[in-house]
Every structure is written in C-alpha cells, then in structure tokens.
C-alpha cells in the first residue's frame, strides 16, 4: 500500500463542493444549465457537484463530458483533444467542470473552443487550484475554484498517477 500525505480531507472537499454548488445555484437559480465535465479527472467532482446542485433545488441540469488533456507537468500548453461534446451548446448556459487548474492551458483552450459556439453564458468550476503555476491568464470573473494547493503533483478524488489513485476519497501526494 502506498504512503499518501493528505492535502485535502474528505470533509474539506465536501465543504468546497458545497460552496461551489451554492455559487452555481445562486448564479443560475431557475435557469437550465449544461455541466461539461473534463475527462477523466473531473468524474468524481461531477458526480458530487451534480447531486449537490439537486439538493440545492436545481432540477434543470444536463451532464456532458469532453475529453481534453494537457501534457501534465509541462508549460508547453500542448493539448490533446480526444472527444467532443455530443450536443450543441448555442444559447445554453454552460458550466465547465474541471478537477484542477495548473498552468491554465487546458482551460484557456477549452474556453476558446466553446466560446465560438455561442453559449448564452460560459463559466468554469474547478475544485482544485495550483495558484503559483499559472501561465495563461484566465477570466477570473468566470472561474470559481474550491481548494488552493501547493505546486505538487497530487492524486485522488479523480486525479491519477499513471491511471491509479483516482478512487481515493481525499487528495494527497504519493510518497514513493
């Protein structure tokens, strides 16, 4: 069994998800929204966020996934685009659901990609945020983040190292 140093506990994550859900429901109240999860890392956050939105009274919620990854750990900003949305987003209120922001390259690419499809609005919710690594400037008024993390490679709650550790209910660093 690997030794994992916990950086965000289950309880802290639950509170952050709730805070983000509260902000989304405040912004969109009676609107219909489309949640767009970024595969694969956002799948756990998506599952918890979507149900939290229901508990907060949002009933008109649809869920889609898009598969985009950056070559993690680099600042090259190179993006791999593997799977597009299956529905048009023109005129829709779109909320991108991302696991973690690092350099910002993935989100800068994604915002550009979706913006031209003319959604009614487009915001991002990201559960984790490595503030010190930012290279791309992102529109702060459209980004809601949860927990700030140090510049370390983290795993858990959807995040992996070589495909492993996504199922941890908390986030931490693997001591190898």
Of 58 and 159, which CB lies nearer to ligand XMP in the complex structure?
159
Closest CA to 149 of 33, 16, 28: 16
Distance, CA of 120 to CA of 109 (rounded, Å): 19
Of 41 and 104, which CB lies nearer to Mg ion in the complex structure?
41
**Considering only residues 13-52, where is the footprint of ligand XMP by CB under 6 A?**
38, 41
The residues, ordered by sequence, that sit 6+ positions from 110 with a Cβ below 8 Å of its Cβ are 38, 66, 68, 96
How would you classify the pairing of strands 121-129 and 171-175? unpaired
For residue 151, the minimal CB distance to ligand XMP (Å) is: 9
Binder of ligand XMP out of 101, 123, 143, 147 (CB under 6 A): 101
| 67 annotated active-site | no
Which candidate in 48, 60, 102, 160 is catalytic?
102
Catalytic residues: 102
């Amino acid at each position: 069994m690997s030794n994992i140093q916990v950086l965000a506990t289950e309880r802290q994550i639950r509170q952050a998800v709730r805070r983000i859900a509260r902000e989304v429901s405040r912004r969109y109240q009676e609107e219909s929204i489309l949640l767009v999860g970024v595969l694969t890392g956002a799948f756990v956050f998506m599952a918890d966020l979507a149900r939290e939105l229901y508990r907060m009274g949002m009933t008109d919620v649809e869920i889609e996934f898009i598969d985009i990854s950056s070559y993690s750990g680099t600042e090259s900003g190179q993006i791999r685009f593997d799977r597009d949305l299956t529905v048009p987003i023109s005129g829709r209120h779109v909320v991108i659901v991302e696991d973690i922001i690092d350099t910002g390259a993935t989100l800068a690419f994604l915002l550009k990609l979706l913006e031209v499809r003319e959604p009614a609005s487009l915001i991002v919710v990201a559960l984790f945020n490595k503030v010190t690594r930012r290279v791309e400037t992102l529109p702060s008024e459209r980004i809601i983040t949860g927990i700030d993390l140090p510049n370390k490679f983290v795993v858990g709650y959807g995040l992996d190292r070589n495909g492993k550790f996504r199922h941890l209910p908390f986030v931490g660093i693997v001591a190898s």
